[in-house]
Amino acid sequence: MSHKIAIIILADTDTNEGLGRVVNALAAAGEYNKAGDEVRIVFTGTGTKWPTSLEKADHPAHGLYEAARGLVDGACGFCANAFGQTDAMKKYAIKLLTDSGPFMSYRQYTESGYQILIF
């Protein structure tokens, strides 16, 4: 049975808990993808700060991020702006999601049959 999974990363970069959450999110994305499931990763809230950290080759989760890069669907446009990450999203070619006014739409995922996992 194939699944459709949207992995939402809200965790902040400023704590060990946040690192644990992003590692688990990326590991889950890899697991579902390896099983043949359709996976989308979205950065929102303070989670929009993660790509800047994960792009660094010496970051402990860089390898997981590299493996999951093709699964990134985008980042909340409003949140990227609020946390000063709009330029970083553009630099790393991460689409800014503004499907619901200035915000990303969670509903677009559930309407398309995705289960949402929040980290």
DSSP lists the bridge partners of residue 38 as 4
Per mean pLDDT, which range of 35-44, 92-101, 107-116 is the poorest? 92-101
Report the pLDDT value the prediction gives residue 20, as an integer from 0 to 100. 98
Q: Strand, coil or helix: what is 6?
A: strand
* pLDDT above 90 (res 7): yes
Here the tokens at position 114 are 């995705």
Mean pLDDT of all residues belonging to the chain: 97
Report the pLDDT value the prediction gives residue 12, as an integer from 0 to 100. 97
Q: Angle at CA 19, nearest 5°, toward 34 and 32? A: 15
Per-residue pLDDT of 41-75, as tens digits, reads 999 999 999 999 999 999 999 999 999 999 999 99
Average of pLDDT values for 99-117? 94
Residues 6+ apart with CB under 8 A from 63: none
Report the pLDDT value the prediction gives residue 100, as an integer from 0 to 100. 82
**Count of other CB atoms within 10 angstroms of residue 113:** 10
The domain made up of 4-118 is a member of CATH 3.90.45.10: no
Q: How confident is the model at residue 110 (pLDDT cuts 50, 70, 90)?
A: very high
Cα–Cα distance measured from residue 105 to residue 59, given in angstroms and rounded to the nearest whole number: 30
